[in-house]
Structure 1
C-alpha cells in the first residue's frame, strides 16, 4: 500500500496528494477522522471535536495492521453472549408451539441441530475479520465484485432493519406490559430505539464495552425465568396432542428449522465487523470457536426457554400470551415477584438494546458499503438514519410482531445461506495459499478495476435465489419443491436449496471468470 500523502501542506498540495484513488484510500485508512473533517468545510472543526470526544470516525475503510488493537479474542465470546442472551431470542422458541405446534422434545432437537449449522456458518465469517481488517460487506467484493457487494449490502441493510424492527417492538411490548395502561406501546418502542442509538452513534469501542458486561445481568434474568416457569409448572407433554404426524411433522420441523437457522446465520453478514481490529495473526480457530460458542450456548438456552414457557398450561399464562404475545407471557411469569418482578421486566425489556446494537451499528456500515458516494458520509449519520427507519417501522407494525418475526426470519435464512456458501468457496478454493489467486489483495478492496467483475458471484446468487423460490414455504407463497416436501402447507426447504444451488454453480463459474479475466 502506498504511504499516506502529507497533509501538512497547503490546499493546492492537498489536491495533488489526493490525485490518485489509491492515495486517497490509503490516507482514509490511516487517518479517517482527518479525511472526513476535510470533506465538510465549515463543519470540519465540529466533526474534529466530535471525533476527538470519542465518536468513531472509521467507517468501511480497512484497518491497517499497525492500527490493530491487541485485545483478547475472548471479547468475541462475551459480545455474542450479550447479544443473544436477551428478550429478543425468546420468541423464536415460542414459535415452535405457537405456529408449528411442535412438542417440546422436537422443538429442542430442532433448535440444537439447526442452530449448530447456523453457528458454524457465522463463526466462519467472523474469522475473516482479523485476516482482512475489513467489514463483512466489503469482504463480499472479493467474491462477487463491487456490484455484487452492493447487492449484498442492500440485502444486509434490509436484514438489519428487520431485526431492529422486531427488537424495538418486543422491547416496547414488554415495557407496556409492566403496568398495563400506564405506558403506551408507541412510547415504549421509541424509548428502546433511542437507547440503542447512543452506543452505536459513538462507535466500535463503546459497542464492545457495552457488550462485554451486558451478558452478566441478562444471563441471571434468564435463569430467573427458567426457575419461575418451573414453579408455574412446565408440562413437556402439553403440546403432544396438537403436534402433526408424518409428512406434516417433517414439514413443521423443516420450516421451524429454517427460522432457527436464520436466528443464527442472521449474524453472519455482520460477524466480521466486530473483530476487524484484532491482530492479523490472531489464531483463526480461536476466533471460530469463541464466536461459535458465544452464539450457540446462549441462543439455544434462551430459545429452549421460549419453547418451555409455552408448555405451561395454567389458564392465566395462556390468557397472558393471547392478550400480550411473548411480552405478556413473560410479564405473567414474573408476576409472583410483585414489584421486584416488574423491575426485572424493565431490565428484560432493556436487554434488547444489547441485541439491537450490532443491527444498528452494522446498518450504518452496510449503507457506506453501497459505494463511495455513501462512504464519504460519516458512519454516525447513517446510524441515525437507520434508527429513524426502524423506529417508525416498529410503530407501524407493532400489532403484528409474530407474523413479522416468523416471515422475516424465514426469508432471512435464504439469502444468508447462499452468501455464506459463496464467500466460503471463494476463501477455501480460490483464495487459499496455493490456490488460483493465492490470497487477498487487500489494497484493492475499494478499487473496482482490481476486484473480480463479479459475474460468477452474481450468477451464483441468482441460482441461490432460484433455489430459495422453488423450495420456500411461506403463507403467501409455496414453491413446487417445498410443496412436494410437505403435506397441506408444504415444507420450507428454502435455505437448504439456496445454499445447494449456489454451492454447485459458483466454483465452475468463478474458475471460468478467473481464466478469462484473471481476477
Structure 2
C-alpha cells in the first residue's frame, strides 16, 4: 500500500503562520507542522463558549416548552441530558487534535476510507457551511433588524459579510475573535439571563397543544443533543494547532466544558422565557428581548448578532475544511479560503429563504442534524476503540486506503434509524408511527446500530492492519 506520511513537507505548513492574525491561513486540511503549533488547552473554553452565546442556543429551550409541551423542569432535565451526551462526544474528539495535528474530517478517513469519507464530509460541509450558517445568520439578522430598525435582508447582508470575512482569513483570526467576543457576550447574556430567570414562573403548567409526555421529553433530549453534537464533526479542527505535548485530558475538558455550560445555561434561560409570555413570532429575537428593559434589550440584541457571527465564523471555516477533505483539486495555498467564499454565498441564499419561517425551519434542522451525526459518531468511536494504540499517520492522506465496512455501517445505521424512528412533518418512521409516544429517538438508534455494525464488520480488518504495521 502506498502511504503519505503527514510529516512530509508536501502536506504540512512551514511555521510562518504561527503568530499571524490578519493573514490567510495557508493550505486546507494538511498536517500542522510542529513549528506552527501554539496555544494552551484553556483557550478552548472560550472557543466553544462564545459561539454558543447566541439566540439559536436560547431557542432550543424555547422549543422544549413552547412546541414540545414540557414544563420548565422537564425541559431542564432533557436539556442537561442531551447537551451532556453531546459534550461527552466533543471531549473525546477534541482530545485527538493535538496528537495527530489534522482536522476532524481527515481523521474520519480511518473509519470510512479516503473515498468513503466523502459522504460524511459532504454532509458536514453542507450542515455547517450552509445549514448552520444560514440558521445563525437568520437570528443575527433579526437582532440587527430590531436594534437598528433596518430591513431583515439588509441586516442579513451585513452579518454574512462580517462572518465570512473572519472565516476567510482562517484559524488564527477565528480563534482570536472567539477570545475577544467572550467577555462581552458573557457579561451581557449573564445579566439578561438573571433578569429573565427572576421574572419566570418555574412551576407553570405545560402549554396546551404541545407534544407532551415521553415523546416531548425525548424530542427535547434529541434537539439538545443535535445542537451540542452538531459541533463534534469540527472538534479537532480547533485543537490541531495545539502542541503535541499538551494534556489530552485538559484539551478535551476545556472544549467540552465550554460547550456544555454555554448550551445548558442559555437553553434553560430560553425555556424559562416561555413561562413569562409568548415566545414564537415572526421575529423570535424581538419576542425574547421584549421582556427586558430597553438598555439591556438593546445590548442583548447586539450580543445576539455578535454571537451569531462567532458561531458562523466557526461553521463556515470548518464547513470549508470538510469540503476540501473530500479530495477536490484546488489551488493548494488558498483552497480552504476559496471554498469559504462559496459557502458564504450559498449560506446567504438559504438564510434569505428561511427568514419567512425561522422557527419551523430550525426545529426540523436540529433533528435532521442528529440523524446523521448519531451513526457517524457510532462509527468514529467504534473505530477509535479498535485502533487504540495503533499508529495511524500512514493512512490519513493515502488516497488508496479503503474501509467500506465503515461506510456500510454508517449507511445501515442511518437508513434503519430514519425509516423506523424519524418523526418529521414530511416523513414519520414506521415504529414512530405505531408508537408516537416515543417522540424521535432516531439519533440514539442510529448511533447504536452503526457502532455495533462497525465492531462486527471491521474488527478483523483493523487487527490485520495492526499486525502488518
Please give the TM-score of this superposition, normalised by the length of structure 2. 0.92
For the residue of structure 1 that corresponds to 2:117, the secondary structure is helix
Residue 252 of structure 1 deviates from its aligned partner by 0.8
**Pairing partner for 2:214 from 240, 245, 250:** 250
Residue 55 of structure 1 deviates from its aligned partner by 1.5
Aligned to 2:432: 482
Question: Is residue 139–residue 304 contact of structure 2 (8 Å, CA) maintained in 1?
Answer: no
Aligned to 1:193: 160
Aligned to 1:342: 298
Aligned to 1:15: none
Aligned to 1:426: 383
Give, in whole Å, the separation in 2 of the partners of 1:31 and 1:80: 25
Give, in whole Å, the separation in 1 of the partners of 2:395 and 2:325: 14
For the residue of structure 2 that corresponds to 1:381, the secondary structure is helix
Question: Is residue 141–residue 156 contact of structure 2 (8 Å, CA) maintained in 1?
Answer: yes
Cα deviations by residue, 1:166-210 (Å, 9 ceiling, x for unpaired): 10111111222225xx31111111111111112211111111111
Aligned to 1:415: 372
For the residue of structure 2 that corresponds to 1:134, the secondary structure is coil
1:493 aligns with 2:462: no
Aligned to 1:355: 311
**Pairing partner for 1:396 from 353, 359, 362:** 353
Larger Rg computed on CA atoms: 1
Give, in whole Å, the separation in 2 of the partners of 1:322 and 1:284: 42
Question: Is residue 455–residue 513 contact of structure 1 (8 Å, CA) maintained in 2?
Answer: no
Aligned to 2:79: 111
Residues 332 and 286 from structure 1, CA distance in 2 versus in 1: closer, same or farther, beyond 3 angstroms? same
Residue 297 of structure 1 deviates from its aligned partner by 0.7
Give, in whole Å, the separation in 2 of the partners of 1:21 and 1:240: 59
Residue 349 of structure 1 deviates from its aligned partner by 2.0
**Pairing partner for 1:461 from 389, 407, 410:** 410
Give, in whole Å, the separation in 1 of the partners of 2:426 and 2:12: 49
Give, in whole Å, the separation in 1 of the partners of 2:175 and 2:311: 12
Give, in whole Å, the separation in 2 of the partners of 1:516 and 1:72: 37
Residue 516 of structure 1 deviates from its aligned partner by 7.5
Residue 150 of structure 1 deviates from its aligned partner by 0.8
For the residue of structure 1 that corresponds to 2:32, the secondary structure is coil
Cα deviations by residue, 1:80-133 (Å, 9 ceiling, x for unpaired): 011112222111111012211111010000000111111101121111111111
Structure of higher RCO (CA pairs closer than 8 Å, 6+ residues apart): 2
Moved more, 277-286 or 499-508: 277-286
Give, in whole Å, the separation in 1 of the partners of 2:187 and 2:398: 48
Aligned to 1:235: 201
Residue 374 of structure 1 deviates from its aligned partner by 4.3
RMSD across aligned positions (CA): 2.5
Question: Is residue 59–residue 375 contact of structure 1 (8 Å, CA) maintained in 2?
Answer: no
For the residue of structure 1 that corresponds to 2:147, the secondary structure is coil
1:312 aligns with 2:276: yes
Residues 261 and 375 from structure 1, CA distance in 2 versus in 1: closer, same or farther, beyond 3 angstroms? farther
1:300 aligns with 2:264: yes
Gaps of 5+ in 2: none
Give, in whole Å, the separation in 2 of the partners of 1:270 and 1:230: 32
